Structure 1
Amino acid sequence: MKLLINSKCFTSEWINQKKEALSGDPVLIEKVINAFALLGYLAQLRNDFVFKGGTSLIIHTDNIKRLSIDIDIVFGGDIFPFEEMLSQIAAKSPFTRFEEDERGERGLPNRKHYKFFYISSISDTEDSVLLDVVLDSIVYLPFTEEKIIRSNIFETDFDLPVKTLTIEGLLGDKLTAFAPHTIGVPFETQKGKIMTMQVVKQLFDLGELFDIATYFDKTAITFKETFIKENSYHLNKHTEAEVLDDTINLCHLICLAHLKGYKPKDDINKFEDGLKKLSNHLLGVQFSIHTEAKITASKVFYIASSIKNNKHRDFKKDRFTTDKIRQIKDINLPSPYNYLNRLKSILPEAFYYIWKGIEE
């Protein structure tokens, strides 16, 4: 078992070079590098897990706009030999130790969290990265592929594949997480932990995934399969339509926020709190409630509404371009979305995706 990441990538010199090149927080850049060191060890020891979540986006595209620092995997085996394997990893550089982090969030009795500790080159103090493990069958994840672990954030000493979700698989999987009042990441846990930034992260990643996704049907299939599994963790309390409505309603509220004469609901106050907290995780981009978040919410509205209404969409054909502005010239959105008609002149892209979402 060898260290995948070249040793120079753990130095303060390398991390500060990446800070300048990416306009990113050096502490978070260092966390990304250590997270992938952890993934490298896991991938050498096991091939029966699926790497998913926001951090997996880093190996799908070089155009990374958000630093994600947790390793999320779905693992179908026995936890006891798995924990023995984690002990082996914790004894390897750059790590010094690991411990289980008791959380139990999102109604998952079979989810475990582990912190892997290392000495930071930036602060000379102990820091950690998180391994999030869902102990369950991976057969409900229908669209997976093998990707070589590589990124412009670090250099590797050898090629190492890992099983991950496809772009459409990630998009459908993450769509279930952006439903804060049903099965998704909540704004606040039952134990009172504030999760506003985590909710906003889901929306940001959904927008990034949508922009590079190709197949709507694969996205819809993954959503439906993941919904069944996630809903089972919530004692099957929700219907698929209720979860999609949860997503659609929040997207609608985000698009309404700060339009003249509209008073924000409580969810928007929480969402804006998450936006503020997310800012130092972004790489040289903005994500404002006035523009980017509205456009992204409209894209997610389009996907969720299309799945709910059993529409078969074509992402490539439907994707917004400036020539689509002619299509919406004479369009007026019906109730309850008529207040969003004012987006046509200020954010035509957001207006367009809302219209496509409700189009027959």
Structure 2
Amino acid sequence: MISDKTLHLDWINSVSRKNRNTDKILIEKVIRALLLLEGLTESGLDFIFKGGTALMLLQGLIKRLSIDIDILVTDKIDPEPYFKKFIKNKNFIRFEFQDREKNSSIEKAHYKFFYKPVYNTAQTEEQVLLDILFEESQYKKIESINIDSSFVQQDGPALKINVPSFEDMLGDKLTAFAPNTSGIPYEKNGHSKAMEIIKQLYDIGNLFDVAKDLKTVRDTFSNFALTELAYRKLKQKPGVILNDIFETSLCISTRGAEGNGDFAALQDGISRVRAFIFSESYQIEKAIIHAAKAAYLSKLVETKNNKIERFENAMQIADWDIQQPFYTRLNKLKKSNPQAFFYWYKTYKLVKGI
């Protein structure tokens, strides 16, 4: 269980110092999100923990800071009695239901949990978000992991939580990185969502590196794709989502010269997401690598190919060249970004059936 010492200013300052002077406000938000997760677990609510914060725990190290809690609940229940069981014990002041405009038939509930920050900010109160999705689980494999992180101290054994496997998360994330169909849109209610799109891309790029079972990725993608299309009342097949992923990835990789996407928005998202990328300096060149991986995955899923080939070194690509009618502009990556070129060449081969 997370120790009360975790909410001391000395601890937050020490975590910041050890981690490239990371924003202390964000550090506290991560801690508060994990305390909220503990509370939900102790309350007896039956759920699966999903999303960016779940990935952060499953990886066992923090690559991207995630400060929201996303859960899946099979039964449509009133969750508020569960909240009342832990809100004080987990040092929250109150919770509020967020009444949002519905753009689809997706059954969701959104809550804010308020707390008085330990680290002094301009606000007397801060909050973390809880998003609840009410639907049957479409994940193929569920794993039990500890609610633990280098951002918290434990007092006794860590509590356990159920999360989807790496491959399940990757299949789910692919449907979210499709801004023109099933994914996070470029804009919602007049506000840019480009940073959220790039968060999905970043997660896809990292999940790609650890995924082994491509069949699970494909099956989970198909399940979520069909559900998302039905929610949006779109009479299309999952292939339209795969094409959206491909076109968006191509737009990023050619810096807007090819593909169907809003490169200016995507570039802004890459710039703004840097505050949340914990393990590295995230630049357009790294985003292009992640986009190449996403494009490759889209064609692996589409062609039902179960073999993932991975970049090792630049010698692999020495004699490779992309030919027309595919996008020969991508050949420029051969010198400037060999890893990205590797995955685009593999994508090209899948498209050509070579």
* TM-score of the pair, normalised by structure 2: 0.92
Q: Which residue of 1 aligns with 2:304?
A: 310
Select which of 13, 16, 20 maps to 2:10. Answer: 13
Q: Which residue of 1 aligns with 2:82?
A: 85
Gaps of at least 5 residues in structure 2 are none
Select which of 19, 23, 26 maps to 2:24. Answer: 26
The question of 1:51 aligning with 2:49 is answered: yes
CA distance in 1, matches of 2:102, 2:286: 29
Give the superposition deviation at 1:263: 8.4
Alignment CA distance shift 1:345-1:131 (3 Å)? same
Give the superposition deviation at 1:239: 1.9
CA distance in 1, matches of 2:348, 2:261: 25
CA distance in 1, matches of 2:103, 2:208: 24
Give the superposition deviation at 1:327: 4.4
Q: Which residue of 2 aligns with 1:321?
A: 312
CA distance in 2, matches of 1:5, 1:308: 43
Q: Which residue of 2 aligns with 1:120?
A: 117
User: Aligned with 1:273: secondary structure?
Assistant: helix
Alignment CA distance shift 1:94-1:348 (3 Å)? same
Q: Which residue of 1 aligns with 2:186?
A: 187
Count of residues paired in the alignment: 346
Q: Which residue of 2 aligns with 1:358?
A: 348
Amino acid of the structure 1 residue aligned with 2:347? G
Alignment CA distance shift 1:209-1:14 (3 Å)? same
Alignment CA distance shift 1:249-1:265 (3 Å)? closer
Alignment CA distance shift 1:126-1:277 (3 Å)? same
Gaps of at least 5 residues in structure 1 are none
Maintained 8 Å contact 2:176/2:184: yes
Instruction: List 4+ stretches of structure 1 deviating above 4 A.
Output: 262-266
Write the mapping of 1:178-327 to structure 2, written as runs, cut at 5 A: 178-189=177-188, 191-257=189-255, 262=257, 267-289=262-284, 291-313=285-307, 315=308, 318-322=309-313, 325-327=315-317
Give the superposition deviation at 1:231: 1.7
Q: Which residue of 1 aligns with 2:322?
A: 332
Maintained 8 Å contact 2:110/2:129: yes
Select which of 341, 346, 360 maps to 2:336. Answer: 346
Maintained 8 Å contact 1:305/1:358: no
Amino acid of the structure 2 residue aligned with 1:319? R
Alignment CA distance shift 1:341-1:141 (3 Å)? same
Amino acid of the structure 2 residue aligned with 1:269? A
CA distance in 1, matches of 2:63, 2:129: 20
CA distance in 2, matches of 1:106, 1:72: 19
* TM-score of the pair, normalised by structure 1: 0.91
Amino acid of the structure 1 residue aligned with 2:194? T
| Cα RMSD after superposing both structures | 1.9
Name the % identity: 33
CA distance in 2, matches of 1:199, 1:56: 17
Amino acid of the structure 1 residue aligned with 2:246? I
